Structure formats: structure tokens, C-alpha cells
């Protein structure tokens, strides 16, 4: 892969519970790095959904389903 298109990477050392990591890897079917990336991205998505839920009722929004289906 070309260096200019690679995302920034940070090498870390972490002490992780062996069983928790094994379960996560079994769920993803991926290696350690890919499993940790999936977990970090899932945490980010969860935080964004939570932030959106806090906006509920604070933004006026109208949607005509019939018009959007055309």
C-alpha cells in the first residue's frame, strides 16, 4: 500500500484480559489488531448514536414519506 494513503497508525502495548480478547476474536473471526480496530470503531459509532439521541425533540424535522418514495 502507498504510504500517502495509509491512515495514521499508533503502535500501543496493552494488557488485555485473555478470555475477553479470545471471545472478541471468535466473534469477529479476525486477528488481534483487526478485532481491536472493530471494537474501537463500534465504540465510536455508539458514542455518535448516543449524541444523536440526545438531540431528540430539539430539532424541528418534517418528512413526507410519499414524496421521498417517488
Residue 50 lies in a domain: yes
**pTM, full prediction:** 0.72
Q: How many domains does the chain have?
A: 1
pLDDT score for 6: 66
The rounded radius of gyration (Å) of the Cα atoms in the chain is 19
Residue 36 lies in a domain: yes
Residue 6 lies in a domain: no
pLDDT, tens digit, 9 for 90 and up, residues 7-57: 889 999 999 999 999 999 999 999 999 999 999 999 999 999 999 999 988
Closest CA to 38 of 22, 23, 52, 24: 24
Amino acid at each position: 500500500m502507498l504510504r500517502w494513503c495509509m491512515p495514521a497508525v499508533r503502535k500501543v502495548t496493552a494488557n488485555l484480559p485473555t478470555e475477553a480478547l479470545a471471545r472478541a476474536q471468535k466473534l469477529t473471526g479476525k486477528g488481534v489488531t483487526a478485532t481491536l480496530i472493530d471494537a474501537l470503531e463500534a465504540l465510536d459509532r455508539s458514542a455518535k448514536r448516543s449524541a444523536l439521541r440526545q438531540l431528540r425533540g430539539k430539532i424541528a424535522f418534517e418528512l413526507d414519506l410519499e414524496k421521498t418514495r417517488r
